[in-house]
Structure 1
């Protein structure tokens, strides 16, 4: 795990607007251990099927490029004490104030495959992430789940975050690496509200994760390029947004 020398104690004080959060670091970054433990006991075939589902992501139709470089599926769930209740499939919306590229647009992505949405691997991963939110959990009862693949070629880099440094408009955001193959770049960086970097990391190990408080930090990811000698690079991510339901 590669990260900056910054430690939680070195972070700027968090804005006091979020009750109970002022003295907590606005993010956690951990290796594969917690999610590996969460998946312990799940049949290997179920986990393998979950990971293989990234091979079946349709192209993101909202990129505005001739050749797609991002592929994704999306689903929305109500958080239950021991499970997930899938909600009707809807468009994904971000306000223009937080997404300067696609904000203000209802983006209808392909839904999660039924086996993924109802599967034990997703349930365990989401609940484990919910236990590691870097702030208060009160009122957090809904999540959005994004399966995303970014592809880079020697002729076109891939952009995990074409909107640049941004917020997602949620309470918490979990970023879980699923696969990184023949890739260079894709450095994650977190910033304080004044856009000063507070944490840098290149996620390299499957299930390595950053969970951030979207109200207290901004974030961005540098472009993806193929590794030297490779014609194509692939970066698969599971993103989970946590927020209060309407």
Structure 2
């Protein structure tokens, strides 16, 4: 065995055997480097597979690797076990990277995202509504004089503002404004309805061209009546908090052929 082999005296400087031994040492170093790279790549591939498939054998792989680094392997790997240290560090780095860039759903889901995902799976958009925006083919006026308002609730799913335990699909945009602010017609048309509703309070619904409609709710006063022809910019009434409202604001809806759409883009482009 290697332990019983007679020791070889060190070669003298300048002797022919000295150069040969240096060349052999360099070749052995190359083998060690290539061996480290190949084994590390193979091991890291197994670790990546375990992470991607959520398999619980990563600890077993690491245990098997440590067992492989027994003293008798030093003839190939070196006494400092550089391969073991390198691969162990690479495994830890890879595990941290995978966890960072491939997080689980519970780590990434915000409360708002979770609510929207729940609605998407368990509930559907109400009949007569769509989630996308719609732009009328004609220009519209902003429905509040001087644009003196603040949007307090957008179109779509939201927590019930009336204190309910669940949530609802909001069919328009809420624009908070001072009570008594003039509400203006968004475009030319005919008043289809001007009256009182249990939820809308005092409201006006106007029919425009191409089957488009606008609706104005929670009004303090109504200045128009059903069947009246109006022009863009005409005053329909004033901002109030009638119906189901938590404060003075205009609830504005946009419909196309009886279907409600998100009016946000239309309001942004309004003159």
Normalised-by-shorter TM-score class: under 0.3
TM-score (norm 2): 0.23
**Bigger Rg over Cα:** 2
Higher strand share: 1
